[in-house]
């Protein structure tokens, strides 16, 4: 049976009170497969979301982390800090982190290793810009990200990583990625991982689509063979929309 993960990436949104209310709204929506859902929230919301989600089956995680366990890194949060809270997931290498905060493949690799060593599942983001896409360099670019990000990670650990493909070229540009384009790149990503390791490892990796998945297009995207879910931005901020996307995934498991 195909595995799914519908992960809501809240970015810099929602206070603790708003987080608690969101979870109450989500509970009222009664999603079909809560174990396939996760909320990825700002650091200040982690304890609130953990406590509010108790007994629901929905998992939770952070949006970033530092690779060092401690030190003079003002404003940063370490993996042991996240582990103490009990997070299930942590996003790393998001396009916004790469663009605005100088995240590199080297630091992504260090974060991947630190998270895996501590039993937290990384959600690794990769994807190409409009400039790269228009130059027909998207596969070369994404493959280079994957090779650098997975450097030194053994197959048994690589199989635990979730990869999210972000078509940066279709975010805020007025362009749209079709389900066929999304599947093409997700299949390519699986193939690259298979080449680095083996098919068993590649098939164990969940590959999410991070390009504006919404209730209206979720089913068409999720039915594609190499798309295991979505890294959901705006549509994850409203409980009914987030539930609708999760239910689209649940319907495909029947």
Torsion of the alpha carbons at 171, 173, 178 and 180, rounded to the nearest 10: -80
On whether the CB atoms of residues 6 and 242 are closer than 8 A, the answer is yes
On whether the CB atoms of residues 65 and 92 are closer than 8 A, the answer is yes
CA distance 162 to 105: 16
Burial string for 119-154 (b: 16+ CB within 10 Å, else e) reads ebbbbbbbbbbeebbeeeebbebbbebbeebbeebe
Query: Mapping DSSP to helix (H, G, I), strand (E, B) and coil, where does residue 92 land?
Result: strand
Count of CA atoms in the C-beta half-sphere (13 A) of 85: 24
Taken in order 190, 192, 197, 199, is the CA torsion positive or negative? positive
CA distance 80 to 43: 13
Query: Mapping DSSP to helix (H, G, I), strand (E, B) and coil, where does residue 12 land?
Result: coil
Residues taking part in catalysis: 94, 166
Query: Mapping DSSP to helix (H, G, I), strand (E, B) and coil, where does residue 60 land?
Result: strand
The whole-angstrom distance between residue 12's C-alpha and the CA centroid of its chain comes to 15
């Amino acid at each position: 049976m195909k595995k799914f993960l519908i992960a809501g990436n809240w970015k810099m949104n929602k206070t603790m009170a708003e987080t608690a209310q969101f979870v109450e709204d989500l509970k009222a929506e009664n999603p079909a497969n809560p174990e396939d859902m996760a909320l990825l929230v700002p650091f200040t919301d982690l304890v609130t979301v953990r406590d509010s989600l108790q007994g629901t089956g929905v998992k939770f995680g952070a949006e970033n982390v530092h690779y060092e366990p401690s030190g003079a890194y003002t404003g940063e949060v370490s993996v042991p800090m996240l582990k103490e809270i009990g997070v299930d997931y942590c996003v790393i290498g998001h396009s916004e982190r790469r663009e605005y905060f100088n995240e590199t493949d080297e630091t992504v690799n260090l974060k991947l290793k630190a998270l895996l060593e501590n039993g937290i599942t990384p959600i690794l983001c990769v994807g190409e810009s409009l400039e790269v896409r228009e130059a027909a360099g998207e596969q070369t670019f994404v493959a280079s990200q994957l090779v650098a990000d997975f450097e030194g990670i053994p197959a048994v650990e690589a199989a635990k990583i979730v990869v999210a493909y972000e078509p940066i070229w279709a975010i805020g540009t007025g362009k749209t990625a079709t389900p066929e384009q999304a599947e093409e790149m997700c299949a390519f990503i699986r193939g690259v991982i298979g080449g680095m390791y083996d098919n068993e490892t590649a098939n164990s990796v969940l590959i999410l689509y991070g390009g504006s998945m919404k209730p209206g297009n979720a089913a068409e995207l999720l039915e594609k063979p190499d798309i295991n879910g979505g890294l959901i931005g705006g549509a994850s901020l409203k409980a009914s929309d987030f539930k609708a996307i999760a239910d689209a995934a649940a319907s495909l498991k029947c």
